[in-house]
């Protein structure tokens, strides 16, 4: 199964992605995690990406798209994947479409996790990652609204919205039930 997960920072995408990846048997690919690995390993890409991560801005599409293209050529993605945090812009969705076209495959569904802003901001403040200061968190919410929510229209044909408030297992069950039904 080929899935994309969308949702505001703090909606619990990463947690859900880990559960769904295990249940569905497909790799979890988080662009945020890939960037953080590059930063830790001090690769040239990590050095380019760091300032964007620090401020909550999006890393430029050509950098992000190249990194995803490279990851999606690895053999573990042949039978499916779960993309967490990519695409985040309409141009990135076009990059993904080109990658999938070349591989003669397509997305099965886009899962949108929804949660009110105050809930997600509180969750992120509790998580305490280095880029989880209140200013950066609020900025990431604005970036999400401006740059990522247009994807909801873009993917309206295969979009499945899941309420991301409540116990983690219940949210995962909602997502899995939704995926079991034809979209
Ligand atoms: P996340 O772990 O998804 O919260 O992402 C952390 C940070 O990584 C974001 O604030 C961006 O700076 C960067 N990032 C992650 N995914 C993308 C993407 N698809 N496009 C651009 N920047 C991204």
What is d(CA 17, CA 166) in angstroms, rounded to the nearest whole number? 16
3-state helix, strand, coil in the chain (%, to 5): 60, 15, 30
Per the CATH hierarchy, to which homologous superfamily does domain 2-180 belong?
P-loop containing nucleotide triphosphate hydrolases (3.40.50.300)
Q: Which is it for strands 81-84 and 2-6: parallel, antiparallel or unpaired?
A: parallel
Share above pLDDT 70 across residues of the chain, in percent, rounded to a whole number: 100
Q: Is the pLDDT of residue 183 over 90?
A: no
Q: Band the pLDDT of 8: cuts 50, 70, 90.
A: very high
| Closest residue by CA, ligand 1 atom 5 | 32
Q: Is the pLDDT of residue 182 over 80?
A: no
**For a substitution probing ligand 1, which of 8, 31, 53 has the most ligand atoms within 8 Å of its CB?**
31
Q: Using alpha carbons only, what angle is made at residue 125 by residues 34 and 118, rounded to the nearest 5 degrees?
A: 110
SS3 63: helix
User: Residue ranges of the domains in the chain?
Assistant: 2-180
Give residue 138 CA to ligand 1 midpoint distance, Å: 14
Model pLDDT for residues 61-85, shown as the tens digit of each residue:
999 999 999 999 999 999 999 999 9
What is the pTM (predicted TM-score) of this model?
0.95
What pLDDT shows up at residue 180? 94
Give residue 73 CA to ligand 1 midpoint distance, Å: 20
| Closest residue by CA, ligand 1 atom 19 | 86
Mean pLDDT along residues 97-109: 97
């Amino acid at each position: 199964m080929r899935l994309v997960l969308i949702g505001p920072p703090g909606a619990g995408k990463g947690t859900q992605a880990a559960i769904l990846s295990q249940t569905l048997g497909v790799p979890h690919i988080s662009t945020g995690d890939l960037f953080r690995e590059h930063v830790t390993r001090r690769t040239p890409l990590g050095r380019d990406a760091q300032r964007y991560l620090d401020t909550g801005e999006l890393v430029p599409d050509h950098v992000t798209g190249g990194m995803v293209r490279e990851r999606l050529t690895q053999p573990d993605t042949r039978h499916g994947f779960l993309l967490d945090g990519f695409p985040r812009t309409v141009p990135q969705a076009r990059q993904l479409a080109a990658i999938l076209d070349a591989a003669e495959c397509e997305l099965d569904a886009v899962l949108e996790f929804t949660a009110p802003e105050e809930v997600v901001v509180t969750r992120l403040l509790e998580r305490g990652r280095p880029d989880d200061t209140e200013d950066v968190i609020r900025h990431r919410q604005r970036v999400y609204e401006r740059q990522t929510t247009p994807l909801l229209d873009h993917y309206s044909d295969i979009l499945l919205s899941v309420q991301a408030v409540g116990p983690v297992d219940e949210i995962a069950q909602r997502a899995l039930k939704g995926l079991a039904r034809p979209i």
